[in-house]
Structure 1
Amino acid sequence: MAPTVSSKTPNNSIAYINGQIYTINPYNPWAYAFIVSPDGIFTTIGTNKEILSIAKSLSLIIVDLKNQFVMPGIHDAHMHVLYSGLALTSDTNIGFDSTSDNIAQKIKEGSCACHYTHAYEDWILANMFNNEGFPDMVADRKYLDDMFPDTPVVVRGGAGHSLLLNTEALKRAGYDVANEPDIQASRFVRRQDGSLTGELSETAMNKAMLAFPDPPLAHVKRALKHAIRIAHQVGVTSCQEASANSLMLHALRELDYEEDLKIDFCTHIMYAPEYPVGEKQDSLIKLLDKATEFKSRHVDTRFVKIILDGIPLPPLFTHCGLDGHGKPDQTKVVVEGVADAIAKYDQRGMTVKIHCAGQGSTRMALDAIESVRKQNPNGPRHEIAHNSGVHDDEYPRYKPLNVTAEMSPAMFFTHPVTASSGGLMDWNFTKMLDAGAHLTIGSDWGAAPDPSLFGALAGIVETVGGGSKDKGAEILCRMLTINGAEAVGKDKEVGSIEVGKKANFIVVDRNLSKGEFGGAGVVRTYFEGELVWERGVESGQLLKNL
C-alpha cells in the first residue's frame, strides 16, 4: 500500500529567516526567524541558527526576509469595507473639487473604477460633493435637475453624513419636496419658501438610503473582495466593520464558505439609525437577534453599532455638544434610548461601538455604559468611536468602565480642518493615555481616500511618546496590533507574533519601531501564512503560501 501523502504534515511548514521581527510580545520583543505551519500558525520563533537547524532537519522551504522589518498584521478598528468597495467599483467618481458650475457635468462624465455602471438600476450614486464649491456653502438640486430631469441622482458629502439629491430622487424616496417635516436630529436644508434644496443630513437621509436600490449579492461580494485587496496593500489583516447590514453578512458568509475571505472581520451590525446601511431598523434588530447564524471562521458577529450624533464639520455641525449647564444637546441625538439598547446587547455579551463626535454625546455614552455596568459588572468591553470631542471630566471614566477609546478617522489627527475647528475636533492621545484608557486606531475608511494609517501616525508619534519618538512608536504599534485584538477579544489568537497564534504578519520597508511612519509602505502582507499581497505583483501572480 502506498504511503499517505499530505500537505498538512510538519515538513510542509515554511521557515522565514533573516528578519527584523518586531513581535509586540513584551517578553520577547525581537526575533530573527520563525516557522509557520501548513495551517497558518506560528510554531517556532527564535534565532536564525535555531530556525535553520529545524528547517534543515525537516527539509523545509525557506524564505529569506533579507533583513526587512516584520510585525504583526494591522487591526483597523474602524472601517466601512462594503461602503468603500462599492465606491471603488460602481459609484460615480467626481472627486472632491466639484462646484455648482460643474457638478452635473462631472457626474455625467464620472468614472467608476471597475466600470460596473448598472449596479443600482437606473439610480446614480456619486462621491462626493464639497459645500465649499457652492454659493454660501449651500448645495441645491437645481444644479442637477437640468441635466438629470428624470434620473434619480444621489451625491454623498459631509464624510458620509450628508447627501445632495436631485428632484427626481427626492420624489422617488418619498419626500414632500414642498413641505417635508423635520424629525429628530434631522437637517433639511431649505429654500426661502421652505421647500427642500435637496441637501439632507443625519436622520433626514433615512428615506433616501432606504429607497436607494441594493446592488446584487454577487456584486457585493465582488466589491468586498476589491476592498479587501486594498486593505491588504496597507497591511490590514483584521478589522472592525463599522456599518454591517444583512446584505454584507450574507456576502461574507458566502465568501467564507467558498474559502475566499482572507481577512478577519468583526462586524458591528447597525442598530440605528437606518441611513448608514439603507436597512429598516426592525430588519436590523431581527438581524442582531440572529447574528450568530452569520458567524463563520473569519467573521465574528458579536458586535453592534449605534450612531449617537453627527459630525463637527462645516456647514453641518451636527455633533452633540454640551449646553451651559453641562447637559447634552438633545436636538443632535440621533438615537434615543441608547442606554436601553446598550443594556440589551450587553446582556447578550455583545460589544457596542457608539459613534460620538461631540462632548455631549461622549458624556451620554459613558453615562449609559456606567448605568449598564452597575447592573452587569462583568459585561463585555464596549467602545466609543472617534473620541474627537471629549470633555476633561470624561477621560478618567474610560478605564474603570472598561471602555475602549477607538480613535478615528486617523486622517484628521493632524489636518488643516482639525486645526481650524476651534477645538471641536481634538483627538487627545496624551490625556487618554495618562488616564490609562485602552486605545485603538481606525482609518474610518470610507471617509478617507484609502485606509493607510502610517501617514497619519507620523504626525502624532512624538506627541504620543511624550516627546520620545521611540516610545511613541512602541505605543502606536501596540494600538495597531495587540490593542485591537484585545478590544475584540482575539488577543489569544492574533495581535502579536507568538507561538500558537495565527501567522498574520506584514513586511514593511522601514523600521516602524523607530517611529519611521512617514513614507512607510507595506512590501508584503500574509494572512494565516498565505501571501495575500505583494508590492508590484498582481493578485493572480502571487506565489501562494510564501
Structure 2
Amino acid sequence: MPQHADLIVTNAVVYTCDLAQEWAEAFAVADGEIIAVGNAADIGALSTSETEVVDVDGRMVMPGLCDVHTHLGSGGMQAAWELSLLPTDTLDEILAKVRDRAASLAPGEWVVGGVIGSPILEAAAKGGFLQALDEAGAGHPVLLRDESWHNRLINSRALEIIGVEKGTPDPEGGKYVLDAHGELTGVLQELASKVAEDAMAASVENPEERLRVAFRTALRMVNSFGITAAQDAAILEHNLRALADLDDKGELTAWVVGSLPSRPFFEEGAVGEELYAVAGNHRRTHVRPDFIKLFLDGVPMTRTSAMLSPYICHGDHEDPDFKGEPYLSLDDVVKELERCCELGLGAKLHCAGDGSVRLALDAIERVRKTRGDGPIFQIAHVVYVDPEDIPRFAPLGVVADASPYIWFPSVIQDSCANQVPGATFERSFPCRDLVDSGALLAAGSDWPVVPLPNPWFGIETLVTRANPDPAVPGELNPAQRLSLPEAIAVFTRNPAKAMGLGDKIGAIQPGRSADFIVLNHNLFEIEPNTIHQTQVLATYFEGRQVYDSAA
C-alpha cells in the first residue's frame, strides 16, 4: 500500500461500484488516482501534514457518473446562447417565447431554440402555422428544433434565406414538408434540417468563441449533476478542436469520448474519411475520438424509423403496409463496420426502430465472424427491440445504449404511441430483459433532446418506469424495472466499459481516476420516486474539486 496521499475522503458512506468491495468508509488519492479504499483507520494512516482531508460528515460518496450518449456542444450552445423551449410548451407559449426573443435581437439575427414537442411538429406538418410564426418572429428568421433533434420548424423568412419555395426539390436524406394543398409548412425532416442549420451557422459572428463558451457551459452543467465522463454521440472537427484546447489549458473537467459521423450530419463540417483522417490530431488525455457514428434510421414520431411491423395507418393517405426504410443496406453497414475494424475505432449505431436494430445485429454478426471480438459496437437507443433479438446482444458483445430520460410517460411517448403498433410500443425499452440476457446496458441522456442532462431522472426512471412528475400518471412497460444497484451500474461502470474507459473510470477502486461525487442523501435510504430530488454537493475530477453546490 502507498505510504502517503494527496487527498483523503473520510467519514463517508462510500458506494464504490466495485463488485469486489461495494462499500467503504474512506479512500485515498495521489496524483489524481485512487490509491487505497477501505476503513477510516487504515486510510487515515496514509495522511501526512500535506494531505488534504475531506470529512463528508457521513454522506454518501460514489463514482462520478457517465453519460454514454449526449451532445455537449449542442447542449451547451442551447444553454448559453439560444431560446429554451420545453416539449410540453403549447403553441401559444412557443409563439410568446419567440416573440420575446425576437424583440431582444439585432435586425437580421436568427431566433434559434428548442425543443418543441412532437405533437406541435405533427400539427405544423399539416399546415397553417407559418403565418403565426412569421408574426412572432417579427421579420427575424426562426429555427426551432424538435425533441428528437432530427427535424426543424422554420418560418417564411428562414425559408427565403435557404432558397426553398414551393416546388423546390427535397435534399437527399431529407424533406421539405408540404401540406395537403402542396404548400410549404415550414417543417423540415432529417437532412433538410441541415440546410437551415448551415444557413443559421453562417450568420454567426466569431463561432469559435461561441463554441468555447458553449463547452464551458456544458461542462459546468454536467459537473453540477455529477457527470465526469461523456460520449458525444456525433462530434465534428471544430468540436474536437475546442475540447482539445480546453484540455491543453487544464480546463476540461470530464472525459469526453467522440463519435465521428460517417455521413452528412445536421451541422456543417467534414464527415467520413475526411473526418477520420484529422480526428486523431485532436486526441488528448481526456479527449478521445474513438468511435464512428452511423445513422441506420430516423425517429418513430415522423415514421422515419425502420420497423419490423407496419406503422399505424391513419387513413387513405397512408400506406397500411409502410414500415419505414433503413438509411443503409446490410452490405453498407457491414462495410462501415469493417472500416471501423481497420481503423481501430468503435461504432455507435443509431437505431430507433426494431427493424434497424435487427439490421445492425445482422451486420455485426457478419463482422464478428470474420474479425473476431474487434472494437466496441453500441446500438442506440434500444427503444424497440424484438424479443428474438435480445439474446443476440451479449454473444455479439453489443452495448445497449439506452435513454431512460425519455421513455417514461411523456409527450414524446404519446407521439410514438400514435405511430408505432401497440404490440411493439408495449415492449418499449426492454431494460430488464437486456440485463437478464447478459447484455451490457449503458445509459445516456441524448441532451439536448431532453432539457437537462440530469442523470438522477434517468436512474429513477430505470427503477420506477414512471414519470418523476406526479401530474403525469402511468408507467411504461413496468415489467422492465431495474433494481437500484443495477440502475447505478448503468450510469457508472457499464458506460465506462462501453466507452472504452473501463479500466480508468466508473468505480472507486485503486488505479482508477479519482472522479467522485458527494450526495445530499443516501440513495439506498430514500424512496425510489424521490431519486430525482438528489443533489450533488461536490464533484471531483482526478482528485480536484470541479463543482461545489455551496458556490
Q: Would you say same fold, with TM above 0.5?
A: yes
Q: Pick the aligned partner of 2:39 from 35, 47, 51.
A: 47
Note closer, same or farther for the CA distance 1:520–1:246 as it changes in structure 2 (3 Å cut). Answer: same
| CA gap 1:101/1:511 in 2 versus in 1, 3 angstroms | closer
Question: For residue 454 of structure 1, what is the aligned residue in structure 2?
Answer: 456
Provide the aligned C-alpha RMSD in A: 3.1
Which residue in the other structure is 1:63 paired with?
54
Counterpart position of 1:540: none
Secondary structure of the equivalent of 1:400?
helix
Deviation at 1:350, TM superposition (A): 0.7
Contact 1:174 / 1:207 at 8 angstroms: preserved in 2? no
1:255 Cα deviation after fit: 0.8
| Partner-residue secondary structure (3-state), 1:174 | coil
- The residue type paired with residue 44 of structure 2 is L
Distance 1:194 1:261, change over 3 A: same
Question: Which of 475, 488, 510 is the equivalent residue of 2:486?
Answer: 475
Residue identity matched to 1:385? A
Look up the equivalent residue of 2:140 and give its one-letter code: T
Tell me the secondary structure at the aligned position of residue 504 of structure 2. Answer: coil
The residue identity in structure 1 corresponding to 2:492 is T
Counterparts of 2:326 and 2:182, CA distance in 1? 24
CA distance in 1, matches of 2:327, 2:194: 11
Displacement, 1:71?
Answer: 0.8
The separation in 2 between residues aligned to 1:110 and 1:190, in whole angstroms, is 27
Equivalent in the alignment of 1:6 = none
The whole-number CA distance in structure 2 between the counterparts of 1:522 and 1:111 is 36
* SS of equivalent residue, structure 2 residue 145: strand
CA distance in structure 2 between the partners assigned to 1:98 and 1:480 by the alignment: 29
User: Which residue matches 2:440?
Assistant: 438
Tell me which of 21, 30, 33 is aligned to 2:26: 33
Shift of 1:513: 4.5
Question: Structure 1 residue 320 and structure 2 residue 306: aligned?
Answer: yes
Please, which of 329, 337, 344 is the counterpart of residue 342 of structure 1?
A: 337
Distance 1:279 1:133, change over 3 A: closer
Q: Distance in 1 between matches of 2:379 and 2:437?
A: 15
User: 5 Å matches for 1:164-243?
Assistant: 164-175=153-164, 177-182=165-170, 186-213=174-201, 215=204, 216-243=207-234
SS in 2 for 1:340: helix
Decide whether aligned partners of structure 1 residues 121 and 111 sit closer, same or farther in structure 2, where only a CA change above 3 A counts: closer
Q: Equivalents in 2 of 1:102, 1:413: separation in Å?
A: 23
The Cα of 1:443 is off from its aligned counterpart by: 1.1
Q: Deviations over 1:249-275 (max 9, x none)?
A: 111111111111111000112223422
Q: For residues 368-394 of structure 1, what are the alpha-carbon distances to aligned partners after superposition, in whole Å with 9 as ceiling and x for unaligned?
A: 111221221131010001100111111
CA contact (8 A) 1:273 1:335 kept: no
Corresponding residue for residue 313 of structure 2: none
Pick which of 162-171 and 334-343 moved more.
334-343
Deviation at 1:107, TM superposition (A): 1.1
Secondary structure of 2:307's aligned partner:
coil
Deviation of the 1:74 alpha carbon = 0.4
CA distance in 2, matches of 1:371, 1:468: 30
User: In the alignment, is the contact (CA less than 8 A) between 2:259 and 2:293 conserved in 1?
Assistant: yes
Deviation at 1:399, TM superposition (A): 0.9
Query: In the aligned structure 1, how far is the partner of 2:108 from the partner of 2:33?
Result: 45
SS of aligned partner of 1:180: coil
Moved more, 188-197 or 250-259: 188-197
Deviations for 1:496-544, whole angstroms, at most 9, x for unmatched residues? 111121100011122234675342221111100111112131xxxxxxx
1:80 aligns with one of 48, 71, 77 = 71
CA drift at 1:279? 1.9
Q: Tell me, yes or no, if the aligned pair for 2:88 and 2:411 is still in contact at 8 Å.
A: no
Match of residue 473 from structure 2? none
Task: For residues 84-133 of structure 1, give each alpha carbon's deviation from its aligned partner in whole angstroms, at most 9, with x where no partner exists.
Answer: 11111111234445555564442130399xx9x68x98322122334545
Q: 2-side partners of 1:187 and 1:231: how far apart?
A: 34
Q: Structure 2-normalised TM-score?
A: 0.85
Once residues 94 and 378 of structure 1 are traced to their aligned partners in structure 2, the CA distance between those partners, rounded to angstroms, is 43
Task: State the one-letter code of the partner of 1:318.
Answer: T
Using the TM superposition, give the Cα deviation of residue 476 of structure 1 relative to its aligned residue in structure 2, in angstroms: 1.5
Q: CA deviation at 1:59?
A: 5.1
Matched, 1:124 2:111: yes
Question: Which residue of the partner structure matches residue 547 of structure 2?
Answer: 533
Unaligned runs of 5+ in 2: 311-320, 466-475
Moved more, 378-387 or 343-352: 343-352
Conserved 8 A contact 2:305-2:324: no
Partner Cα distance (1:169, 1:127) in 2? 16
Q: Secondary structure at the match of 2:176?
A: strand
Write the distance in 2 (CA, Å) between the matches of 1:164 and 1:93: 15
2:373–2:397 Cα contact (<8 Å) kept: no
User: CA 1:264 to 1:510, structure 2 compared with 1: closer, same or farther past 3 Å?
Assistant: same
1:135 CA displacement: 9.3
In structure 2, relative to structure 1, the CA distance for the partners of 1:467 and 1:30 (3 Å cut) is farther
Number of residue-to-residue matches in the alignment: 513
The alignment-based identity, stated in percent, is: 28
Report if the CA contact (8 A) 1:41-1:499 is conserved. Answer: yes
Partner of 2:369: 374
Equivalent residue letter for 1:239: A
Cα distance change, pair 85–373 in 1 and its aligned pair in 2 (3 A):
same
Distance apart, 1:468 and its partner CA: 12
DSSP 3-state at the match of 2:483? helix
Structure 1 match to 2:472: none
Gaps of at least 5 residues in structure 1 are 1-8, 538-546
**Aligned-pair CA distance for 1:158:** 3.7
In the other structure, the counterpart of 1:18 is: 11
Choose 389-398 or 193-202, whichever is displaced more.
193-202
Aligned equivalent of 2:392, options 397, 402, 407: 397
Contact 1:347 1:376 in 2 (8 A): no
Contact 2:404/2:459, CA 8 A, preserved across alignment: no
**Cα-to-partner distance string for 1:424-480 (whole Å, 9 max, x where unaligned):** 37111121122111110111110112111223322432689x9999x8111122221
Q: 1:505 aligns with which of 491, 511, 516?
A: 516
Question: Is 1:299 the equivalent of 2:287?
Answer: yes
